[in-house]
Copies of this chain bind each other. A is one copy, B any other.
Amino acid sequence: MKKEYAPSTDLIPTPVVLVTTQGTEGHANIVTLAWVGVVNSTPPMVSIGVRPERHTYRLLKERGEFCVNVPHRGLVHEVDVCGTVSGKDTDKFALTGVTPDKASRVTPPLIRQCPINMECRVAHTLDLGSHTLFIGEILAVHRDASILDEKGKICLEAFEPIAYCPGVHDYRAVGEKIGWYGFTKGKMP
Known: A130-B42, A135-B128. A178 touches B9 (CB 8 A): no
A143, chain B: closest CB distance, angstroms: 6
Interface centre among A17, A179, A183 (most CB of B within 10 A): A179
A149, chain B: closest CB distance, angstroms: 10
In whole angstroms, what is the CA distance A183 to B4 when docked?
31
A-B contacts, 6 listed (Cβ < 8 Å): A7-B140, A10-B70, A14-B38, A34-B38, A47-B133, A77-B189
Number of interface residues of A (CB under 8 A): 104
Encoded as 1 (CB less than 8 Å from any B CB) or 0, chain A from 125 to 160 comes to: 010111101010111111111100000011010010
Known: A126-B124, A141-B6. A161 touches B13 (CB 8 A): yes
The answer to whether B35 and A38 touch across the interface, beta carbons within 8 angstroms, is yes
The answer to whether A9 and B41 touch across the interface, beta carbons within 8 angstroms, is yes
The answer to whether A165 and B175 touch across the interface, beta carbons within 8 angstroms, is no
B-facing residues in A64-102 (Cβ within 8 Å): 68, 70, 73, 76-81, 83-85, 95-97, 101
Number of copies of this kind of chain in the complex: 2
The answer to whether B12 and A143 touch across the interface, beta carbons within 8 angstroms, is no
In whole angstroms, what is the CA distance A154 to B130 when docked?
24
In whole angstroms, what is the CA distance A45 to B9 when docked?
7
B-facing residues in A172-189 (Cβ within 8 Å): 172-189
The answer to whether B174 and A13 touch across the interface, beta carbons within 8 angstroms, is yes
The answer to whether A26 has its CB under 8 Å from any CB of chain B is no
Partner of A176, one of B77, B153, B156, B175: B175
The answer to whether B174 and A175 touch across the interface, beta carbons within 8 angstroms, is yes
CB closest residue in chain B, given A120: B7
